[in-house]
Amino acid sequence: MNFAVKVYPRTIWGERYHGNFDQLTDEIAAAGIQNLIVPAFQGARIFFAQQFDPEPNPWSLLPLRELCAQKQLGFAVEFPIFNDRDTFDRIPAFRPQSPDGQTYPPDFWYRPICPSHLDFNQHRLHLIEGATANLKPALALINFLWCPFLPRPAFDTAETRSGTETWEEMGSRVPMFCVCPACRQNFTEVTGLANPLQDIEAWFAFRSEQIINVLADIEEVSQQSPAAPSLLLELPPIATPHFAERLRRLTGIHLEAIRRLSSALSPQLFYNEHGQSPAWPLAVLDELAAYDFSLFPQLDFPELTAFSEDNLHEFVFLLQSLETRKIGALSLFHWENIVPLPQVLNIVEQFSYAVS
C-alpha cells in the first residue's frame, strides 16, 4: 500500500524537529511512508516565497520539497479553503451565522469562513496560484471546501442522534450554517426568493453551486501553473447511510456535480476516536464506490500514547479491507499523533513493504 502522511508546521518546527528536514524525512521514510502532505498556508501564515517578500521567508517549505525529491519521497500540498482562524478572529462579518442570527462558536478548533464573500475567495485563489508556482506540487489536496457546519461524530448514537438529525428531518430544515446576510442576499439575487424556507431544495442547490464555482476557479488557477497538479477533494466526516445526500444537504458538496472537475476524493475517516470501529469508515467507502471516483482516504488518528491490542487488530483489519476494495493509497492524519505509536508505525511499514 502507498502511504502518505500529513505534516503540520507545529510538528516541523516544534520540539521534536526544530526545522530539521533531514530528521523529519528520514523518520517518515523509515516507517515505510512514501509521501508527505503539507499545508501551503494556514490562516495568515504562508509557507512559500511570494514575489514581493522583502527578505527570504524563513517558513518556506520549498527546501523540504527539494529534499523530498532527493530522497524519492512524494510531496503534496494542502489548501485549506474555508477554515481560517486569523480571518475568523479579525473579521466578524465573515463568521458563519445560524438562521436565528447566532454566530459560529469561536472556541472550537474549526474556524469556518462563510463562502459568500468574494474578496476572501479571491485571496484564497491568489494564494493557491502562488503556492503552485513556487512549490510545484504534483498533487494538491483541497480541504475545507464546504459550507460551514458543526462537525459531529459521524455515527448515530443516543447522544448524538439529535445533533446529526434523522434522515426525515434533513430534507425540510435549513442547515445550521451559514445563513448570514451575505448568503441571504446572494440567494435572493440568484433565485428571487427572500427566505430559504420558501424553497428548501433551492437553498440546497444554491449552496452546492457556491462550492462548485469555487472548485472550478481552483481548477482553473492550478492548471495555469506549469506544475498543473492533480486535485484531490477532501470530504468531511458525515453519517451513513445516505452519505452522499447528507453530504449535499449539510455541506453543499454535490458528488454528481463535481465529477467534471475532480475525479478523486479523500474522505476523512475517524478511527479509534469517539468509540469508532472500522465499520463506519468502510460503510462510507462502500457508498462512495457507486460514484466511480478514485478514492484516497484519510485516516484520522486521535492523540494517544498507545494502542490496545484490540485497536491494533482493528487497524490491520481496516488496512486489509482497503486492499480488498482495491484502494491502494491511504493518507494518515497526522504525523505528530502517529510518531509516538511504534506499534502503528510497524504495521504501516509491514503493509507498505509487503506491496513494494
**Which range has the worst mean pLDDT, 26-35, 43-52, 184-193, 273-282?**
273-282
Residues 33 and 6: their CA atoms lie apart, in Å, by: 11
Question: If you average pLDDT over residues 133-155, what whole number do you get?
Answer: 85
- 67 or 174, higher pLDDT: 67
Residue 353, classified by CB atoms within 10 Å of its CB into exposed (0-12), middle (13-18) or buried (19+), is exposed
- Rounded to 10 degrees, the C-alpha dihedral 1/233/220/56 comes to -70
Beta bridge partners of 5: 36, 332
Question: Residue 145: is its pLDDT beyond 70?
Answer: yes
Q: What is the reported pLDDT for 105?
A: 85
Question: Residue 178: is its pLDDT beyond 80?
Answer: yes
For residue 38, give its domain range: 2-355
DSSP 306-343: ---HHHHHHHHHHHHHHHHTT--EEEEE-HHHHTT-HH
Among 148, 165, 44, smallest CA distance to 104 is for: 148
- Rounded to 10 degrees, the C-alpha dihedral 126/127/129/132 comes to 180
The residue type found at 192 is G
Q: What is the reported pLDDT for 276?
A: 63
The domain tally of the chain equals 1
Among 300, 312, 299, 318, smallest CA distance to 341 is for: 312
| Most confident among 240-244, 271-275, 335-339, 350-354 (mean pLDDT) | 335-339
Q: What is the reported pLDDT for 154?
A: 43
| Phi, psi values for residue 236, rounded to 5° | -75, 165
Per-residue pLDDT tens for 305-338?
A: 677 888 889 899 999 999 999 999 999 999 999 9
Three-class secondary structure of residue 73 per DSSP: coil
Residue 102, number of CB atoms within 10 A of its CB = 12
Q: What is the reported pLDDT for 166?
A: 55
pLDDT band at 275 (very low <50, low <70, confident <90, very high): low
- Rounded to 10 degrees, the C-alpha dihedral 188/88/161/247 comes to 60
- 152 or 24, higher pLDDT: 24
**Which range has the worst mean pLDDT, 30-34, 236-240, 280-284?**
236-240
Contact (CB, 8 A) for 79 and 40: yes
CATH at residue 8: 3.20.20.80
Question: If you average pLDDT over residues 238-257, what whole number do you get?
Answer: 92
Q: What is the reported pLDDT for 162?
A: 40
Per-residue pLDDT tens for 147-158?
A: 998 765 444 444
Among 245, 252, 234, smallest CA distance to 287 is for: 245
Per-residue pLDDT tens for 232-241?
A: 999 998 888 8
Q: What is the reported pLDDT for 163?
A: 42
Mean pLDDT, the chain, whole residue set: 90
pLDDT band at 302 (very low <50, low <70, confident <90, very high): confident
The residue type found at 336 is E
| Nine cell digits for residue 8 | 503540520
Count of residues making up the chain? 356
The residue type found at 207 is R
Sequence-distant (≥ 6) Cβ neighbours of residue 228 within 8 angstroms: 222
HSE-up of 131 (CA within 13 Å, CB side)? 31
The pTM of the full predicted model, rounded to 2 decimals, is 0.94
HSE-up of 11 (CA within 13 Å, CB side)? 22
Question: Residue 209: is its pLDDT beyond 80?
Answer: yes
| Nine cell digits for residue 9 | 508546521
Reported as type and span, the H/E element at residue 268 is strand 264-270
Q: What is the reported pLDDT for 171?
A: 61
Q: What is the reported pLDDT for 36?
A: 98
